[in-house]
Amino acid sequence: MNISLATDLREHVAFFIRWKPEVVVAEPSYYRALVRFAGETGQRPRISVAITQGEMLDLSTRKLMEETFDGEVFDHYGAEETGNLAWECPTHSGYHINTESAIMEFLNHGEPVAPGQPGEVHVTSLRRMVTPVMRYFLGDVATPLDEDCPCGRGLPLLKDIEGRILDFIMTLDGHTVSPFVILSSLGVVDGLEQYKVIQERDFSIEVLVKTKKHMADSVLQNVEQRCKILFENMPVTIKPVDTTYNPQDHKPRLVESRVSGA
């Protein structure tokens, strides 16, 4: 059953509490809205299996979902142009690639990368007959794996979907800081409810953070220490905010660089 996202969240939660659906499929931003609603009202729906799609799932959102809904989170990876491309199984060892419906290539300067190395994702759809999609560049970076999943399915795996290339942080010496590294570092900070990293055109970095009120000082100190390691000599400002999310953003980015060429 599809639930209109235009309706009030109170109606959604009432539906979940009454009908107790085992599986819910939605974007991470929708789940974050449910988490905020649960924190504000005390009404916490139980979702046994929460499937995320359509947006990049960061570690902090995954953790909040698991704690709030008392269920398991499975992320799916795909694109509107190509459909579903890869998905997590119960082992969470990586993302199984749908090789029966798409060919995925991981390239660096047009050449295939070695297993375990990140590469730009290019996709050829095996199901788009009317409008063929061949070696389509998604603008994402991911890492192919050369190992078998313990689940025994036999499908090839990928990991570390790093989001849009434009979301890499540029350093003053021309290097980049991967958004996946940033998410992995900030996403595990205890008491950090929301965050967003913004790099301006002058290379300065602003980190917007929403913290649990009773942990604000320790969280800000922790974030500052991690940013010194992540960005080294880059100018960084840590800014406490009430929320980092703009409800008008369909696909909010947690890491955004405005530097030309990023």
DSSP result, 151-182 = T-----EEE----BGGGSEEPTTS-EE-HHHH
pLDDT at 61: 86
Per-residue pLDDT, averaged over 107-125, amounts to: 95
Domain-embedded: residue 33: yes
pLDDT at 139: 81
Pairing relationship of beta strands 157-159 and 72-79 according to DSSP bridges: unpaired
Where residue 7 falls among pLDDT bands split at 50, 70, 90? low
Domain-embedded: residue 143: yes
Which sign, positive or negative, has the C-alpha torsion 133, 139, 145, 146?
positive
Statement: residue 224 has pLDDT above 50 = yes
pLDDT digits (tens, 9 = 90+) for 160-207: 987 655 468 988 888 888 777 888 789 889 999 889 999 999 999 999
pLDDT at 81: 86
Per-residue pLDDT, averaged over 214-243, amounts to: 94
Per-residue pLDDT, averaged over 73-82, amounts to: 92
Q: How many CA atoms lie within 13 A of 75 on its CB side?
A: 21
For every residue of 202-242, DSSP letters joined together read TS-EEEEEEE-GGGHHHHHHHHHHHHHHHHTTS-EEEEE-S
Same domain flag for 138 and 204? no
Same domain flag for 174 and 122? no
- Contact yes or no for 24/33 (Cβ under 8 A): no
Cβ partners under 8 Å of residue 43, min gap 6? 13, 17, 37
pLDDT at 10: 86
Same domain flag for 120 and 64? no
pLDDT at 57: 86
- Provide the domain count of the chain: 3
Same domain flag for 253 and 188? yes
CATH number of 216's domain: 3.30.300.30
pLDDT digits (tens, 9 = 90+) for 35-72: 888 888 999 899 999 999 988 888 888 998 999 999 99
CA 236 – CA 199 distance, rounded (Å): 9
Closest of 193, 190, 199 to residue 245, by C-alpha:
193
- Contact yes or no for 177/185 (Cβ under 8 A): no
Higher pLDDT, 254 or 69: 69
Domain finish residue from 29, 45, 75 = 75
> What is the three-class DSSP state of 121?
strand
Domain finish residue from 116, 146, 161 = 161
Of all residues in the chain, the percent with pLDDT exceeding 70 is: 91
Same domain flag for 101 and 136? yes
Domain finish residue from 161, 187, 217 = 161
Domain-embedded: residue 249: yes
Statement: residue 250 has pLDDT above 70 = no
Cβ partners under 8 Å of residue 178, min gap 6? 118, 141, 162, 168
pLDDT at 33: 81
CA 251 – CA 262 distance, rounded (Å): 19
Same domain flag for 246 and 217? yes
The total number of residues written for the chain in this structure: 262
Same domain flag for 170 and 243? yes
Same domain flag for 172 and 138? no
pLDDT at 62: 92
User: In terms of residue numbers, what domain contains 179?
Assistant: 166-257
pLDDT at 163: 66
Q: How many CA atoms lie within 13 A of 218 on its CB side?
A: 8
Statement: residue 142 has pLDDT above 90 = yes
Compute CA distances 141 → 14, 113, 177, whole Å: 39, 11, 13
Domain-embedded: residue 174: yes
Same domain flag for 218 and 188? yes
How many other C-beta atoms are found inside a 10 Å radius of the C-beta of residue 102?
A: 22
Domain-embedded: residue 82: no
